[in-house]
Structure 1
């Protein structure tokens, strides 16, 4: 059946369901959604459950848009007239592409009204679809710039979404039924994550990252026949925003990819921030950068964001659902439903199966699950991490000892994840007088990444949300935190009083941490504290192994006399015990498990242990292998 015929059929079905008096002028696939255009959006708003009924009966994600949107300035005035003043509206963002108006308010509940009454009244008055979010305590320039950029390319994006929508909803033509997974990176190694799902109809790429510390093999195998040309790929799915999973997504657009990238909203924003910084760091160290900021913009323009639990068509025979992975903000376990109940496969990305100061544990229950690709960073039999409480005690002890001897504590940390966990632990330690009330300096992108965390409070755990918004005690805004925003201030920190410095990069692959290490490394009063995983080949791993002289360029050397401390327990990864517990609690139990994203001995050890305990078929794949699932 042609797409036009399918749309006509859907329009006829819609007209049979909707009440008389509502006319549908057009229906169109735009990305994964079926968009209904009408001259009577107010009548749709009056029918509170109508869109839910349409979505249920048509088995599609439904969006209703007016044919003509009211002028944003007039609409803004009408919104403010409807919403009570005590809601504290701080910003209105009109998105013509979606017909949505994002209402930022200090009290979202007041904007929503009892049982959504105020929201429905807004829709009736202006036609735009209101979406309410809480005003973030820290404004993010990244989020603001992305919103402005998406508004500037609204026409191109609408054309793109319609093209993609028709591709997603094209007719399934093949009579064959099979599913294969090709490993393009991240097998028996940490980094350059990339996996390709293939069916007779579709190809979907999961992640496309770099390999930290690698010079010769830092890129996934995205040139092999299974995936090339990139125009044959239907979709890219991004599990989370760490560079070993997201760094090279813009490279795909440079080499001809034209499709969508699916991610949670925080993952899109954080990954764009990190990608721009990534090419800036590479530019300082090399004459050749892998891609430009234009390619990052192309990625943003082609991004489609999905929240946890939203079942979405991404290809004619593949549905995607994101579930919380508990690793970093917006990190997701990607679950794929292939065919009409043919097969279900999930990729954990990086995940954490314990509650942390920031997040709830990773989801372990799925409607169906036949195969699982799971990370194995700490999959070795001896990879048992201490309890978070014990790790924090060790951090406090290191800070106390270092400050008492007049030194400074350097904590290299990923801008996203470990930085915020460490900030929360230090803030509580200072507030409860467990450690001296020293300044905690934030250098690099940590402040901006923290701002993005406060933009998406629904992705944080309930305890932290309540602390920030109900108790009015936002730990990220504590007086102890000071942003280092100039070379002059960095020099003052280096020469000043004892303090704690949280700075990027987490594995010492360039960034501001190198300035601190160069200046403070020779002084034995200071301390360098690792709170995150250090991959093979990185400077961080070398220092952990005992290197005390670090070459810097051709003629310069960093001398390491300061105390070296590795504090396990802050990692966003599950340790061996949690990985095994995760398998025990999986519902339903999969038929096959593939252990990836770990050093060779760890992935093999974990696969063997899972098989021995649970009698599940396991594999520790190599890169460039293809497995037929069905």
Structure 2
């Protein structure tokens, strides 16, 4: 067995390793270097000298592992390329973007063409996680989830000469988008491990996420703009989910988060491949829930949008590629934000020592604050920081994986020289295996006298059927699996093998069964390995086949699981109509995204779900007092129908614009600072129609007579007319909502009489409650107690002895037409 390091050894970048096993040459990854001062390509001469390539295997889509793949594939067109479907879809996006970047630089000749990418992708053979595939005679390949990014794989090869493990980039801890690496107790004779952070222990992930949110809060408080340069693949999606969750939980004030660069295309690929994501995220996507965007997280389309973002006075956060500021829109944003005193640039990942991102970080402690970016010199005035959201294993994780696999031959790569040397010494002290620290250009030959025995995954029992699997016969597969393989977890390919009796490599059959399993009551995804499936037990299937009747406690558990992020205050139930009501302090500020989940919830449970529209006025007042100070408030008036709060302030000269924006965002209400007491009566009316004729006003009784005549034949008329000031009159209807039905008529009357006419905000509560009782009597509905009126929301609630839906619909229709108020039923 020979291992030749064409790139990525004693360095980070251009990962490219040639493995010779059983006289076959297998290339593991084929990347580029990001640094502009070095040759970006691996040493392909070594591949030629050792006889070319028989097969290529890709660990994950990042360009330092794939960026030169079209070149080597063009040179060796008969070599099949192996990766999973997620990596293939991501690679397509990354390589086409690379072509676009290379073509846009005047002095740079692209190192491959669009046709090279097309032909290379045609040679790709996709293989899912934990599927054994013979790729060359006697050589078997298996991919395992590496936990680095979506689609990230550890590579395991077994041949006659021995077994070989290649970690690629990996991480053992759980991220927001992907689960940690899932590596069984393999038995490799030789293994290669990445060492990016081989000399470091990562800080606590939650602490770093909290630091990011604290920086965002500070930026918003200072009405600033924040740029988070992020790798388009992996890091950007993590950051978007952190910000989205924090805003949904009210841990971060709602602010526009703009998404720019290649991140948008990567987000699309994530949505297309939910089985390669963390189970909770994958399940949301399968239910049709948008994972990344909402009303606050917005994709940027063009340069005009970018200029508006920078030119606007709003505080905002921009998440944009590239992560090292080497290209993409992040360069533009960095150039503009760097010179802002209320600007923030937060670096979120690894920075090549020669990248603009690295140089930016070096300026933090520099006396000369000048940033060179986008071919410009920018005076640096913004705040600079770095957060640790690494998707690479740290020293402990690397050593833990080595200890789990116990290979006799250990190669450490993908790290700076000093880092690898330090890690190598520690590993050698605690390992019985031999540790190699190779450099680019080296070939190391190892002889394995007694290859380790491998654990086999036998499937001795097979159905051997010829008919295709479908919705009608999948129960046969379920019964067979339950009988012969109880409690086992399967790949899609293994289930196909059990059904047909041989390995089915056709992508269309794999995709068809995958879709069938996802929509079946007989199988479910494994929570830890979302790409694998297990047979449900008989009780679960029996329950699923029955029309599901969820109990109240079951509904509560589902609500808590699905809607906990929205920070509701209480759950109410109307059992007769199978309705759940979520109660919020500020229902008008609930994100629109919740309604998408409502639809899915109703589909899955056959229960209705809605939001109580009544605002918690005490909480509203408390929030207002917190924002502007209780001592600054003389009086608060609420106008629920207009989503307004009118405040009499002791300080009329103060600028409340910042507090107004925050109050609107948190509550859905705007607050207005009330002017002088002389204008009190007019200002507190929800709707005033001023006369266009300012030089004339009818005599008072004549004006009233004109108004009476105008409403003589209308269904509803004002029951009271009140003179409030000179040439200013207020009309009282049963409710202001009824009055507004006549807005056009009242506007014409104002012009005809020369009087300003207002519709009073007062609801005639006695009349409204009396009508509620009357309509109930008409329908012979007996009430447990008298109807109640809620002034804040202008709603009436009735509590019937017996809930009868048809009767209630008729009562509600008649009541709301005659009063303009909403009728609610309490069926508890």
Give 1:66-465 correspondences, 5 Å limit. 179-199=1-21, 201-224=23-46, 227-228=47-48, 232-285=52-105, 286-339=107-160, 342-380=161-199, 383-465=200-282
User: Could you tell me how far apart the structure 1 residues matched to 2:341 and 2:446 are?
Assistant: 55
Instruction: Name the structure, 1 or 2, with higher relative contact order (CA <8 Å, separation 6+).
Output: 1
- Are 1:561 and 2:377 matched, yes or no? no
Report if aligned partners of 2:74, 2:120 keep a CA contact under 8 Å in 1: no
Contact kept in structure 2, 1:358 and 1:421, CA below 8 Å? yes
CA contact (8 A) 2:145 2:183 kept: no
Kindly indicate whether the alpha-carbon contact (under 8 Å) linking 1:508 and 1:540 is maintained by their aligned counterparts in 2: yes
TM-score normalised according to structure 2 size? 0.52
Deviation at 1:319, TM superposition (A): 1.4
CA distance, structure 2, for counterparts of residue 369 and residue 287 of structure 1 = 43
- TM superposition shift of 1:252: 1.4
Q: CA deviation at 1:372?
A: 1.3
CA gap 1:274/1:231 in 2 versus in 1, 3 angstroms: farther
Which residue number corresponds to residue 442 of structure 2? Answer: 625
The corresponding residue for 1:22 is none
CA distance in 1, matches of 2:386, 2:443: 38
Residue number in structure 2 paired with 1:581: 400
Paired with 1:464 and 1:191, the residues of 2 have a C-alpha distance of 30
Q: Is the 8 A contact 1:231 1:258 kept in 2?
A: no
Query: How far apart, in 2, do the equivalents of 1:366 and 1:183 lie?
Result: 26
The alpha-carbon deviation at position 219 of structure 1 amounts to 1.0
Cα shift at 1:473: 5.0
Q: What is the CA deviation profile of residues 130-188 of structure 1, one whole-angstrom value per residue up to 9, with x for unaligned ones?
A: xxxxxxxxxxxxxxxxxxxxxxxxxxxxxxxxxxxxxxxxxxxxxxxxx1110111111
For 1:299 and 1:230, the matched residues in 2 are separated by 22
How far the C-alpha of 1:498 sits from its partner, in A, is 0.9
Q: Structure 1 residues 231 and 188, CA, compared in 2 at 3 Å: closer, same or farther?
A: closer
Instruction: Please say if residues 427 and 475 of structure 1, whose CA atoms lie closer than 8 Å, have aligned partners that are also in contact.
Output: no
**1:492 corresponds to which residue?**
308
C-alpha deviation, 1:623, in angstroms: 0.9
Using structure 1 for the length normalisation, give the TM-score. 0.68
| C-alpha distance 513-477 of structure 1, shift in aligned 2 (>3 A) | closer
1:620 deviation in Å? 1.4
Instruction: Point out the structure with max Rg over C-alpha.
Output: 2
Contact 1:206 1:238 in 2 (8 A): yes
SS at match of 1:476: coil
Gap regions ≥5 residues in structure 2: 448-828
Kindly report which structure 2 residues correspond to 1:601-620, keeping only aligned pairs within 5 A, or say none.
Answer: 601-620=418-437
Equivalent residue of 1:219, what SS?
Answer: coil
Query: Does the 8 Å CA contact 2:335/2:374 hold for their aligned counterparts?
Result: no
Query: What is the Cα deviation at residue 456 of structure 1?
Result: 1.1
**1:94-135 CA distances to partner (integer Å, 9 max, x unpaired)?**
xxxxxxxxxxxxxxxxxxxxxxxxxxxxxxxxxxxxxxxxxx
Decide whether the 8 Å contact of 1:235 with 1:259 is kept in 2: yes
Give the Å deviation of 1:524: 2.2
Aligned equivalent of 2:362, options 529, 540, 545:
545
Q: Secondary structure of the residue that 2:45 maps to in structure 1?
A: coil
1:202–1:316 CA contact under 8 A, matched in 2: no
C-alpha distance in structure 1 between counterparts of 2:143 and 2:185, whole Å: 11
Count of matched residue positions in the alignment of Structure 1 and Structure 2: 441
| Shift of residue 365, structure 1, vs aligned partner | 2.0
Using the alignment, how far apart are the partners of 1:473 and 1:315 within structure 2? 42
How far off is 1:366 after superposition? Answer: 4.2
CA–CA separation in structure 2 for the residues paired with 1:202 and 1:292: 29
Take 2:346 and 2:120, find their aligned partners in 1: how far apart are those partners?
Answer: 35
Is the 8 Å Cα contact of residues 166 and 191 (structure 2) preserved in structure 1? yes
1:215 to partner: Cα distance? 2.8
Deviation for aligned residue 1:265: 0.4
8 Å Cα contact 1:201-1:316 kept in structure 2: no
Aligned-pair RMSD on alpha carbons?
1.8
Q: What is the aligned partner in structure 1 of residue 331 from structure 2?
A: 514
Q: Give SS of 1:272's match.
A: helix
Deviation at 1:601, TM superposition (A): 0.8
Contact 1:186 1:596 (8 Å CA) reproduced: yes
Q: Deviations over 1:52-105 (max 9, x none)?
A: xxxxxxxxxxxxxxxxxxxxxxxxxxxxxxxxxxxxxxxxxxxxxxxxxxxxxx
Q: Which runs of 5+ in 1 are unaligned?
A: 1-178
SS of the equivalent of 1:210 reads: coil
Shift of 1:614: 2.9
Partners of 2:286 and 2:169 in 1: CA distance: 28
| 1:228 match: secondary structure | helix
In structure 1, distance between residues paired with 2:222 and 2:50: 57
Specify whether residues 281 and 558 from structure 1 end up closer, same or farther in structure 2 by C-alpha distance, changes over 3 A only.
farther
